[in-house]
Amino acid sequence: MQRHNSALLASAIVVLLAIGVGVYWERSSASLLFDGDRALLHVERQMSFGPRPTGSEASRMTGDYIVETLSASGWSVDRQYFDYRGVEAQNLIGRSEAVEKPIFLIGAHYDTRRKADRDRVSPDSPVPGANDGASGVAVLLELARVLDVSKVNGNVWLVFFDAEDNGQLDDWDWIVGSRYFAEHLEEPIVYTIIVDMIGDSDQNIYYELNSDAALREALWSVARDLGFEDYFIPEVRYSILDDHTPFLEKGFPSVDIIDFDYPFWHTVDDTIDKVSSDSLRRVGRVLEVFLESGGDYLPGDMDR
């Protein structure tokens, strides 16, 4: 694709995103940096579909948008369909290359909770899911655009999990999509990194207790090197069941990057005004630098 005037290009991107058309970004030797404003556009687009619980029309539209966006950025994409309690669900997998290499999995869930059961006023209303859902997806989609896969010492999988967020509603379990994916995984992976609820404008990302300690410290080292030490805080604060759990159970080093200091969790106030492009950028840059380092930050005893 030829280069165009930057102002015209930016305008075109906004228009195309608004009507749901994928924009193709040719990968070149030119260095691209993760752009928080572009990531925020992906949050806005998901929010335009409305709440996105598993099996809903809004969920299907979100899935199509994810597939179109990944494909437009040059990633190969597969859909993994599964049924849960009579509801059809799908995980979405973007692969950076179609060759056999060590696999690095970066994941996020794209479904939203059917009921805002922590909301004191409207507990039966659906959660909008700006931070809890859309923010993690937005980071992965922008990462797909900017990541220089030639610098990655492996094959990156960007995986978007369905059916994560309706645990304890109508006898549903948590992390259904990631558990299904892990149970049907036929290839070993080097590690899994999950990003969840990371767009909060008041960003405080602490260590999650169950995450692999060495991999966790490596990621926080990247954040420190980037000057983000005020936001990536190397102290354990929470123990969380999340999409990293099934991979830990299978013996794969896994980390949950999550900002659980979020007062609007599972309420109707989880809206886009709570999400910051700067917060999205910080998380995206950490992932970008970590992956493009070619394994330099990986613990010495971890296979590459």
With bands split at pLDDT 50, 70 and 90, how would you rate the model's confidence at 30?
low
Percent share of the chain, pLDDT over 70: 87
With bands split at pLDDT 50, 70 and 90, how would you rate the model's confidence at 101?
confident
Percent share of the chain, pLDDT over 90: 84
Domains of the chain from N-terminus onward:
37-291 (3.40.630.10)
- Per-residue pLDDT at 225 exceeds 80: yes
Q: What is the pLDDT of residue 213?
A: 97
Give the pTM.
0.89
- Per-residue pLDDT at 246 exceeds 90: yes
- Per-residue pLDDT at 115 exceeds 60: yes
With bands split at pLDDT 50, 70 and 90, how would you rate the model's confidence at 295?
confident
pLDDT in tens, 254-278: 999 999 999 999 999 999 999 999 9
- Per-residue pLDDT at 17 exceeds 50: no
pLDDT in tens, 32-50: 899 999 999 999 999 999 9
HEC letters along the chain: CCCCCHHHHHHHHHHHHHCCCCCCCCCCCCCCCCCHHHHHHHHHHHHHCCCCCCCCHHHHHHHHHHHHHHHHCCCEEEEEEEEECCEEEEEEEEECCCCCCCEEEEEEECCCCCCCCCCCCCCCCCCCCHHHHHHHHHHHHHHHHHCCHHHCCCEEEEEEECCCCCCCCCCCCCCHHHHHHHHCCCCCCCEEEEEECCCECCCCEEEECCCCHHHHHHHHHHHHHCCCCCCEEEEEEECCCCCCHHHHHCCCCEEEEECCCCCCCCCCCCCHHHECHHHHHHHHHHHHHHHHCCCCCCCCCCCC
Q: What is the pLDDT of residue 301?
A: 62
The more confident residue out of 17 and 179 is: 179
